[in-house]
Amino acid sequence: RAPACALAVCGLVFCGYLRWRGAGPAEHRVCVVVVGDIGRSPRMQYHALSLSRHGYQVDLVGFLGCRYKLNVILDVFVSVGPRVVSYVTKVIAQSVQILVTLMETRRPSHILLQNPPGLPSMAVCWLLCLLRGSRLVVDWHNYGFTILALAHPHTHPLVRLAQWYERAVGPLAAHHLCVSEAMKEDLRENWGIRATTLYDRPPAIFKETPLELRHQLFLRLAQTLPPFRTRGEEAGGAGERTAFTLRDPVDQSVTWRPHRPALLISSTSWTEDEDFSVLLKALEEYERCVREGRGLPALVCVITGKGPQKEYYRKLIDGLHLEHVQICTPWLEAEDYPTLLGSADLGVCLHRSSSGLDLPMKVVDMFGCCLPVCLVKHEENGLVFRDSQELASQLQALLSGFPRAGGRLEDFRRSLQTNRGKRWDDNWTQTVLPLITMTTPSP
C-alpha cells in the first residue's frame, strides 16, 4: 500500500506542476521538437522560423551541435553491454530527458515533432499533450524502423519493435504532415493515418549567387582550402585571383577564368544512408578520362557537412592519387553554405532513402539555387545513377567541353530557372498555418 500511496502523491505533484507550468494562454506558443542535432534538421528550423514570422512564440527543443553528456554515456553503454538491455535503458533515459525538458517549457497550443526519430519522443510528447491540453503534430520525414533496418535485418526484433511502436503510437497524434504524396499514400493505406503533404521547398536564401559574391566567397575559402587557390605562376598575376575567378585591377570588375575547373558540390551528414565510396570511385574514373585527353575540365569537389563517418571517408580521400580532381571536406558557416550552392556548377546527392518515400532537403536547396543534381528526375533537373560507373559516365557527359556555353548541363539549369515552384514560406503559409490556427485549444 505504501508504494501505491507514494505513486499517487507523485502523480498529484506532477499534475500540479504541469498546471502551474501551463498557466496562461497557449494560443500563440508552439514547441518544435527534434530528438537530434537541430543543425541537421533544416525542415524543422524552417518550421520554427515560419511560426515566428506569423507571431507565434516558439520553443525549439533539440540538441545543439553535440549531444548531451547523458547520451554519450548511454552510447558507450550500448557498445559494451547486452544489446537489448542497452537499448531499453537508453530509451528509458531519453524518455525522462525529453519529459523533463518539455516540462520546463510553457504550455504550447501544439507540439510539432519530427519523426524519425520517434522512439521514444512520440509517446512522451503525446502524453504531455494529453496532460496539458495541447495538440501533437507529427511531421513524417521518413520511418524510423526503415532507418534502423539499414543496420539490422528487417526480421531483427529491434526493427520489428520500432515498426510496431510507430504503427501504434503514430495514429495518436492530432495531425500529421509528410514530405511527399508517396508517403501520404503509404501512411493512409498501411498505417490508417491521414496526413497533409508539405513538400520541401527551398527558402529564399537559396538562389543563384551573383559573380561578385562568388568571387568574395572563393577568396575566403582560398585562405584555408587549397583547391580554391590559383596554381603555380598564375598565383603571382595582377589583381585578386582564385581558381575560378579574377578581379581586374583597373576597373575592379570580376570575370570567370577562361579555363577554370568545374565546381561540384555534395552535402552530407556522413551517415550510413549515403555511400560516398560511390562518388570517390566515380572521381577516380573521371581522373583517368581527363588524363586520356577527353576534353574534360579539372574538377574541384566540395563535400560539406559533419557526421560519424566523416573521418573514415577522409582517410579514403587521403589515399587517392588524383592530379586533375581536388577534393575538400569543409564545415561551412551557415551564411556561406547557400552562397556556395548558388556558385556551384553541378550537385551530387548520395542519399539512399530507407523507405523510398522521401526526397532529401539538400536536393531541394540545390534546386532553389538552380543547380543541376545527379540523382533526381531523369532528363529534367539532372540524372539518376545506380553505381559509380554510371555516375562517372554522367559527370563526363555533363562536363564535356566545360566551361563553354551550351550542352546538357546548361539545359538542366535553364529548366530549373524556368520551372521554379513555390518557396518554403508561401508553401508553409498555405498548408500548415491554417492547420495550426484552426485547431488551437482554448486557454
Which band of pLDDT confidence, cut at 50, 70 and 90, is reported for residue 73? very low
> Considering the chain, what percentage of its residues have pLDDT values greater than 70?
84
Residue pair 98/123 in contact by the 8 Å Cβ criterion: no
Domain boundaries, the chain: 28-201+424-438, 211-418
Average pLDDT, stretch 314-322? Answer: 92
Among the ranges given (43-52, 55-64, 266-275), the one the predictor scored with the smallest mean pLDDT: 266-275
pLDDT of residue 341: 96
User: Residue 9 has what pLDDT?
Assistant: 47
- pLDDT recorded at residue 70: 43
Residue 293: all three cell numbers together: 585527353
> What architecture (CATH level 2) is domain 211-418?
3-Layer(aba) Sandwich (3.40)
Task: Name which residue leads in pLDDT, 422 or 76.
Answer: 422
Choose among 254, 253, 236: nearest CA to 244.
Answer: 254
* Three-class SS state of 358: coil
**Taking a C-beta distance cutoff of 8 angstroms, is the pair 229, 243 a contact?**
yes
The reply to whether 28-201+424-438 and 211-418 are identical in fold is yes
* Predicted local distance difference test score (pLDDT) of residue 78: 44
d(CA 158, CA 119): 11
pLDDT digits (tens, 9 = 90+) for 353-381: 777 677 678 888 998 999 998 975 444 55
Mean pLDDT over all residues of the chain? 84
- Section 159-180 average pLDDT: 93
Confirm or reject CATH 3.40.50.2000 for domain 28-201+424-438, answering yes or no.
yes
What number is the average pLDDT over the span 287-302?
A: 94
Residue 80 has pLDDT above 60, yes or no: no
| Residue partners of 193: CB distance under 8 A and separation at least 6 | 170, 171, 176, 187
- pLDDT, position 422: 80
Q: Where are the beta strands (DSSP E) in 109-200?
A: 110-115, 135-140, 175-178, 196-197
Q: What is the pLDDT of residue 360?
A: 76
pLDDT (tens digit, 9 = 90+) per residue, 217-245?
Answer: 999 999 999 999 987 545 555 568 999 99
Q: Does residue 77 register a pLDDT over 50?
A: no
